[in-house]
């Protein structure tokens, strides 16, 4: 049918569904037990939000349902691909997924936990296992020193402690 016979109000723009945290192709979706629970809680909230939707306007309601359904689809994909790695079962003498790492970089002492991509939150000192820093630290041990390369810059890092 020609677009000339369609009401302008029917020509709505498709809603934009925000993507989830990036997970490179072919990389296993590791999560901590807490991360898996966080994803389940997020799904429950979205399902409740969908059930409780009270928008009267059909266009707005359809738009909001499309966004919620899109988020649920992406979340289901993540939940289905999630592989739980329990930090308690890791080799405690070296840095692995789930480790709390204390280190010195450029004379500044810092710490963070290595977690799944959906769990990463810099404010909570959690970085994704796919991040360049986490990948550079993997398999290092307490007392190890190495150079962390950032494009053309290189920073010395000393591992001060590892906890699980």
The Cα–Cα gap between 114 and 118 comes to 12
Cβ neighbourhood burial of 65 (10 Å; 0-12, 13-18, 19+): middle
pLDDT recorded at residue 11: 61
Q: Are residues 42 and 61 in the same domain?
A: yes
pLDDT recorded at residue 6: 53
Q: Are residues 101 and 135 in the same domain?
A: yes
Q: Is 76 helix (H, G, I), strand (E, B) or coil?
A: helix
Residue 9 domain flag: no
Residue 157 domain flag: yes
Q: Which domain holds residue 157?
A: 91-163
Q: Are residues 116 and 151 in the same domain?
A: yes
pTM of structure: 0.84
Domain count, the chain: 2
The Cα–Cα gap between 113 and 102 comes to 9
Residue 22 domain flag: no
Q: Are residues 34 and 68 in the same domain?
A: yes
Residue with tokens 């919620």: 68
pLDDT recorded at residue 1: 47
User: What is the full DSSP assignment across 82-123?
Assistant: EEE--GGGS-TTB--TT-EEEEEETTEEEEEEEE-TTT-BGG
The Cα–Cα gap between 110 and 152 comes to 22
Residue 13 domain flag: no
Residue 74 domain flag: yes
| Tens digit of pLDDT at every position of the chain (164 positions) | 455 555 555 566 778 888 999 999 999 999 999 999 999 999 999 999 999 998 888 888 989 999 999 999 999 999 999 999 999 999 999 999 999 999 999 899 999 999 999 999 999 999 999 999 999 999 999 999 999 998 889 999 999 999 99
Q: Are residues 114 and 149 in the same domain?
A: yes
Q: Are residues 78 and 111 in the same domain?
A: no
Q: Are residues 126 and 95 in the same domain?
A: yes
Q: Are residues 114 and 129 in the same domain?
A: yes
Q: Is 153 helix (H, G, I), strand (E, B) or coil?
A: strand
């Amino acid at each position: 049918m020609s677009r000339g016979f369609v009401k302008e109000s029917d020509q709505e723009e498709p809603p934009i569904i925000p993507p989830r945290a990036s997970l490179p192709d072919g990389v296993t979706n590791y999560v901590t037990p807490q991360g898996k629970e966080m994803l389940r809680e997020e799904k429950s909230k979205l399902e409740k939000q969908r059930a409780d939707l009270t928008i009267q306007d059909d266009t707005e309601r359809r738009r909001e349902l499309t966004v919620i359904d899109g988020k649920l689809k992406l979340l289901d994909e993540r939940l289905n691909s999630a592989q739980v790695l329990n930090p308690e079962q890791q080799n405690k003498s070296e840095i692995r997924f789930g480790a709390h790492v204390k280190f010195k970089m450029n004379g500044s002492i810092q710490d963070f936990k290595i977690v799944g991509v959906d769990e990463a939150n810099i404010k909570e000192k959690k970085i994704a296992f796919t991040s360049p820093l986490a990948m550079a630290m993997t398999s290092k041990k307490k007392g190890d020193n190495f150079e962390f390369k950032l494009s053309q810059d290189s920073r010395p890092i000393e591992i001060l402690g590892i906890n699980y």
